[in-house]
Structures are given as C-alpha cells and as structure tokens.
Structure 1
C-alpha cells in the first residue's frame, strides 16, 4: 500500500487551483453545498494519500476522483430521499465568481434552481456525463475515462440527458430588470396583499414548491395555477412573513430574497421564467439545514 507523504507546495497549489471547479461539479451533481464540500474534502484526502508522482494529469485525476465520489454519495442520497418529507429542492447558494463575464453567465445559468431541478430527472451517470461534457467541456474520451465506460456509452449518456433537459421549458433567464420586477411584485403581494402585478407576471400554469424537510411548517404539495398561487401568497404567506425582513440577494445566479426574523434566516426565495418571460416556477426553501451555507461561495 502506498504510504502518503506530506503535500508539497506545488501539490497543494494544484489541488487548490481545482477546488472551485471541483466544488461546482460536486454541487451540480449533489444539489447540496454541504454535501459538495464533503465530496471535495474526500477528494483532497484521496489526493493526499495517493502516489502523486505517478499522476501525469493531476486535474483529470482530481475530476475523476471527485466525480466518482459524488456518484457514490448521490446513489446513497437518492435512497435516503425516498423518506424525505414534502418537496425536495436544491440547497440555495450565493455565488462569488471571478470568471470573465461571458463564461460567468454560461456557468451561473447551470447553477440556477430551475437547471438543478431539471438535472433531477436524470440518472446519476447521465447527470455526470452531461455536466462533464456540456458544462465543463470535457471530451467524450475524458468523460468515458472518468465514468469508467466507453466513448460510445458516454455519447449515449449525454444524448439521453440532453433529450430530458431539452424538453424542459423553465430554462429562460430573464433580464435582471425583469427578475427584480417580479421580486417586487411578489413582495408587494406578500406584504400588502395586492396581487395585480404578480398575477400579470405569472404563467397560467405557474407552480410554487416549498421545501421544509419535515423540520419546519411548509406545504407538502406544490400549488399549481396562477390564481391559487396568488391566493396563497396574498393570504397564507402574508400571515407567515408579515413581520419578516426581506434581504435581496443573488441566489444561484439570479435575483432572489432571504426572509429573516431577527438574525435567523427562515426562507430563501427564488424563481424561474419561461420563454415568454412569465414566471413558471417559484421555489421556497424553508429547511433550516439548507439555509446554513448562504455566505457567498466561489465555485465554477
């Protein structure tokens, strides 16, 4: 068995330079920042315990190790999720990025709640193959090596994933002004009970989902339809949130809000537009376990 040696500065730098990329990959696969951080830490420990001198491509080795660890975690997580109470939503994050503007826009769009929810319809291997090839721009040969499969299988995995993701309608990223206009209309409906502007910005089949994880009160089934949704926001949410402070933030690359009661964040609000610039999905994360990592993070 190889006996690990202390990491040299160059070996440590090699890992740290990859940390944002590994974190971004892990978060997209797992839908949880805390789980992603665990996966990246496990990858670091494996890196520290391997014969690094024998590794010709450190970045490729790290991506492979992290992906495989995430797939293991994803499979066990999917089994545990069968007992999850109510709707499951990804853990919201605030993103701090140093990428150039064009690349940042491309990457942050793949961090949106709508995109992460679309990924949920994929198998773990389809999800990984799609992310590695289409988002992180790896060749099919590299994807095949990472997933321990053939290039033909890689192409099939990515093709199936594109078919599933491509059928979704909640992929349009509205302008920041349109996002802020909806956020203002939603807040007005909650705080003042006026729904005129909100109803005009909702798709007819808009849906509101809330994730309480069985730990705090939250609706167990999604509310579907613009009229029922408006009624819920102006009545129920008005009662729940009338005393809350609204903190406007960037959540998963889009305008959103944190609802705070004193020093405690009780909810994170985000949404997704359709191609007609109407809001198709509203996401409310209430599970306190998913509201503990809302400081800005640097991931790719």
Structure 2
C-alpha cells in the first residue's frame, strides 16, 4: 500500500498544477513539440520540488523562468536535428480538444497556428523567447529581462525583431467555423476521390503543400507550390492509395482539418489555411513520432 503524501510534496503539487497548462503552452510554442514540452514541464516540476519554495514570491514567474531556460537549452540540440530532418518540418499537431495546451491570452488560433509556428522556427532562440513571453504571454520587459538574463532594452529589441519577422504569419483573413468545416469536408472528398477540377477550384493559385513524414513514412520531400500542382499531386495519390479506414473532422492548431487513420493503420492530420482566394496552405503531418497523442 502507498503511504500518505508528504506535506512538502503536496504543497509543491498544489502550487504547481494550476500553472501546468500555461507552462506546457509556453514550452510547446518554444519547441514545436508537445512531447518535448511535457518533458520540459516535468523537469521543471522536479526542480520546483527541490526548491526552497518559501523563498519564492511568485511561483508563476519562477517557473516560467525555469521552463524558458530549459527550452533554450533544448533548442540548441533541436537546431542540429532540424538541419538533418528529412523533408519539410512541421510542429506537432495540437487538436482543439487537447486540454493540456494552454491557449494563451490571445486564443489558440493565433498563438499556435502552423504559419506562426513555422515563423517562430526561423527566429533565434532568444528572439523566440522574448516574443512569446512579451507578445503572447504578456509579460513586461523587466520580467522578460530577468528570465532571459538580459537588459530590458535588449529584450525589447529582440521582441521587435521577432515581431517584424512573424507579422506576415498573423492571420489576416478568417472564416467562420461552419465555413471552414464546409471547405475542409469538400477538400477531403475531392482529394480522396481524385476530383482534379474540384481541387483546382478550391486551391488558391499560390497555395503551398507541406507534408511532414520525417523520413519515417512516405511524403513529398519538398514543399509543393501552386494550386494546380497541388491538385495534380492529390489526384495522383488518389489513384494509387487505398482510402483511409477512419476519418473525423478536427480543428488542428486553430485550423479546420481532419484526422484520418490511413491504410497502414497510422494516424495522419491535415490542416487547411484558408484565404480570400481559397485554400492557401495544406499542412499534413505523417511522422508517427509526432502523432502518438492523436486518437
């Protein structure tokens, strides 16, 4: 039988658990990996457990500092992995019902949209941290400076540079949930049925297809540019591949899409970025390492 929980452990958990979702949300945005975010936050909890908590005035600020610094360390190794990654890299998909990922003050569609996550990937680790802490998690630059061990003015410059780079990734056009679902359902039917004309009518002329198989499953090794090429790509797949064994609609990183169980029994997520001229981006994650949490 297990004994009673020690008072110290109970106190540590009681102060930590209300902050867990926000910390996982921060780590996910820093790393683009839900699994790594959970690992980082668990490591932060262990450090919190061994801390003199009576001396900590603000547990939230302390833990954001710990999580950010752990993420910065992890990003150094991630940079090397990204350079050798097979094919396009996409963040691990987050579904709307994933209660573990905190949406942040501005809402999940803006804060973890795939285009924004890809823009964050192009920033330096410090730029990414300064931008997320200030612009997404709404910390003042004095607090950001304490977390990053930099001057407030330097942190402000980091955030400004980051903001300039990610500005283009902010959604300028939104569709209603019902319209997004209608388009996603139509795209699913056309892409799986090989309806070339329907695909061409839905895809914007400058659309981009990203498929992330990570070298573990078949996927396009380069992004596919242009609505017509993407339409022909899916029409060709429909002629060769068996239909999925299961399909369900989903909101993925704030975007309309669907989860499928493919013929090989492995899940796949498809998310659609939609603009005034139609579908502007298709994001498909097939790498099984990124889909372990998808059911």
Q: Normalising to structure 1: TM-score of the pair?
A: 0.88
In 2, Cα distance between equivalents of 1:164 and 1:117 = 11
Displacement of 1:117 after TM fit?
A: 1.3
**Which structure 1 segments of 5+ residues have no match?**
296-300
Listed as ranges, the matches of 1:150-189 within 5 Å are: 150-168=151-169, 172-189=173-190
Displacement of 1:69 after TM fit?
A: 0.4
What whole-Å deviation, never above 9, does each CA across 1:28-80 have from its counterpart, x for those lacking one? 11000000001001100110111111111111000000011011111111112
Could you say if the C-alpha distance between residues 263 and 209 of structure 1 is closer, same or farther in structure 2, counting changes exceeding 3 Å?
A: closer
Displacement of 1:168 after TM fit?
A: 3.5
Higher relative contact order (CA 8 A, sep 6+): 1
Residue 13 of structure 1 corresponds to 14
Q: Normalising to structure 2: TM-score of the pair?
A: 0.90
In 1, Cα distance between equivalents of 2:121 and 2:108 = 18
Could you say if the C-alpha distance between residues 241 and 211 of structure 1 is closer, same or farther in structure 2, counting changes exceeding 3 Å?
A: farther
In 1, Cα distance between equivalents of 2:281 and 2:30 = 21
- The answer to whether the Cα contact below 8 Å between 1:207 and 1:223 also exists between their aligned partners in 2 is yes
Displacement of 1:95 after TM fit?
A: 3.1
- The answer to whether the Cα contact below 8 Å between 1:206 and 1:279 also exists between their aligned partners in 2 is yes
In 2, Cα distance between equivalents of 1:44 and 1:126 = 25
- The answer to whether the Cα contact below 8 Å between 2:192 and 2:234 also exists between their aligned partners in 1 is no
- Give the secondary structure class of the aligned counterpart of 2:161: helix
In 1, Cα distance between equivalents of 2:172 and 2:14 = 36
In 2, Cα distance between equivalents of 1:139 and 1:238 = 55
Displacement of 1:282 after TM fit?
A: 0.5
Aligned residues: 287
- Give the secondary structure class of the aligned counterpart of 1:88: coil
Displacement of 1:6 after TM fit?
A: 6.1
Listed as ranges, the matches of 1:31-110 within 5 Å are: 31-96=32-97, 106-110=107-111
Listed as ranges, the matches of 1:251-262 within 5 Å are: 251-261=252-262
- The answer to whether the Cα contact below 8 Å between 2:105 and 2:137 also exists between their aligned partners in 1 is no
In 2, Cα distance between equivalents of 1:168 and 1:252 = 14
Residue 286 of structure 1 corresponds to 286
What whole-Å deviation, never above 9, does each CA across 1:240-299 have from its counterpart, x for those lacking one? 35244222122122321111147933311012123x25221111111011110125xxxx
RMSD: 2.2
Residue 298 of structure 1 corresponds to none
- Give the secondary structure class of the aligned counterpart of 1:109: helix
Displacement of 1:11 after TM fit?
A: 2.9
**Which structure 2 segments of 5+ residues have no match?**
1-5
- Give the secondary structure class of the aligned counterpart of 2:216: coil
In 1, Cα distance between equivalents of 2:127 and 2:173 = 22
Could you say if the C-alpha distance between residues 180 and 239 of structure 1 is closer, same or farther in structure 2, counting changes exceeding 3 Å?
A: farther
In 2, Cα distance between equivalents of 1:29 and 1:103 = 13
- The answer to whether the Cα contact below 8 Å between 1:209 and 1:282 also exists between their aligned partners in 2 is yes
In 1, Cα distance between equivalents of 2:190 and 2:105 = 32
What whole-Å deviation, never above 9, does each CA across 1:113-167 have from its counterpart, x for those lacking one? 2221121121111111111111111111111111110110111011001100113
What whole-Å deviation, never above 9, does each CA across 1:198-219 have from its counterpart, x for those lacking one? 3233221101011111111111
Residue 116 of structure 1 corresponds to 117
In 1, Cα distance between equivalents of 2:8 and 2:212 = 41
Worse overlay, 244-253 or 127-136: 244-253
Listed as ranges, the matches of 1:145-294 within 5 Å are: 145-168=146-169, 172-261=173-262, 264-274=265-275, 276=276, 278-294=278-294
Could you say if the C-alpha distance between residues 165 and 138 of structure 1 is closer, same or farther in structure 2, counting changes exceeding 3 Å?
A: same
